[in-house]
Chains A and B, each alone.
Chain A
Amino acid sequence: MNDQLQRYLDGEISLDELPRDLRSEALRWDARLEAARALDAPGMPAGLENRIMRKLQEEEPSPIWSRAWVWLTRPREVTLSPLAALAGTGAILVLAGSAWLMGGRKAAPPVSPAQDLATAPSDSVVVIVEFALEAPDARSVAVAGDFTGWSPGIDLQDPDGDGLWAGRVRITPGIHKYMFVINGSHWVTDPRAVRHVDDGFGNRNAVLVVPGEIRS
């Protein structure tokens, strides 16, 4: 790499001091670095401070009841004869069978469409996309698109009340169409979308191209 470009990136000379033929490369570096810095985490995730403090408490000598609890709950290797293991397994099966007969089977809890989307199959590739809309007078803003079955199921949030509603959605790679739904009924297109397409009903859907490997 050119020495002058290295000096520019080290902050020793300005862009104007670079030869013209190096300036586009310098600006490309600036763009890359800005984009990479924008991906930085804002800080520690919630809960890490408490996790660290709990870990430090474990460093302290604990009272006897606490040590007894640790002794009882810590996994350890136990040696059993085959006969004792068989008897133990049988007892567990009898207890489990009784509980099943007495309690009956319980249905799995229902999953809302938003939850379903947020916990997309773990083996599928997903991209986190941030949607945002400025709507200072709105009481609610939701996203509806082909990825929600066109149901306005993903609510955006405006926690500080500045009129900028935003939310993150996990979406599989591909070409998607979407719109915002204000106050549950007013459908608007995304003014910041790069592409739009007519929806056949006189409105324009925003088009979002999500890069990544598309799995069938």
Chain B
Amino acid sequence: MKKEAESDAEVVRRILAGEKELFRLLVGRYGDVLYRHAQRMVGGSDVAADLVQSAFVKGYRNLDRCEPERVGGWLFRILANLARDHLRDPRREMLGLEEIPVPTDIRRGPEEALEQAELGRALQEALRRLTPEQREAFVLKHHEGYSYQEMAEMLDVAPAALKMRVHRARETLRELLEGAT
């Protein structure tokens, strides 16, 4: 018989009661989502991995402060704050763009895949010129597919303000992308 997966709330309670190795379950459940968001925000995979590690470590240290049934959203907020702080840090290294990853649809021919990658990369490069707040809103809306209401709950910002950030992000991206062609 298949064993029911334990709820987040139960996992958090057991970790706080001393079963610390169970934190691995939370890393497994939310690591991919956090990593993808970090990479969309900061670009480089090494920096993204460092941010995800920092978010989980911070989450572990402060686990007693979270609402156990909402631990996923809470970890996401920690990561989102770290990513924004990273982008605001003037000491951060500018990322190199020497390597162009190809899209995962390998059923295209390599040249078609490269053209597709170029199109995506142009947008990614333009995204880096947005403010951290605009980039975050755009990424959540268009890459991660959240509604404005869901984004508001995640970031504790009003939906109308988030909508405005996304609209401004699109305006800037349009100028950047159409100026580049």
Contact = CB atoms under 8 A, between A and B. Distances in A.
A1 B116 contact: no
A145 to B, nearest CB: 11
B114 A48 contact: no
Interface string A47-88: 011011101100110000000000000000000000000000
B14 to A, nearest CB: 15
Q: Is the interface of A mostly helix, strand, loop or mixed?
A: mixed
Interface in A20-49: 29, 31-33, 35-45, 48-49
A53 B143 contact: no
Interface residues of A, number: 50
Interface residues on B, range: 35 or more
A194 interface: yes
B101 A44 contact: no
A60 B21 CA distance: 12
A193 B110 contact: yes
B45 A41 contact: yes
Contacts of A29: 170
B116 A194 contact: no
22 contacts: A10-B148, A10-B163, A31-B119, A35-B103, A35-B120, A36-B142, A38-B104, A40-B36, A41-B39, A43-B35, A44-B49, A48-B52, A55-B53, A55-B56, A56-B23, A125-B98, A128-B99, A128-B101, A130-B106, A168-B102, A193-B111, A195-B111
B17 interface: no
Contacts, number: 157
Interface of A: 1, 6, 9-10, 29, 31-33, 35-45, 48-49, 51-53, 55-56, 59-60, 125-132, 164, 166, 168, 170, 190, 192-195, 208-212
Interface of B: 20-21, 23-24, 27-28, 31-32, 35-36, 39-40, 45, 48-49, 52-53, 56-57, 60-61, 98-114, 116-124, 127, 141-143, 148, 163, 166-167, 170-171, 174, 177
A204 B56 CA distance: 53
B107 A132 contact: yes
B98 A126 contact: yes
B171 A48 contact: no
B52 to A, nearest CB: 7
Given A32-B120, A43-B35, A211-B118, A38 B99 contact: no
A127 B99 contact: yes
Interface of chain B, helix or strand or loop or mixed?
A: helix
A39 B20 contact: no
A1 B141 CA distance: 17
Given A35-B117, A41-B48, 5 more contacts: A9-B170, A37-B143, A43-B31, A53-B23, A56-B60
A51 B102 CA distance: 27
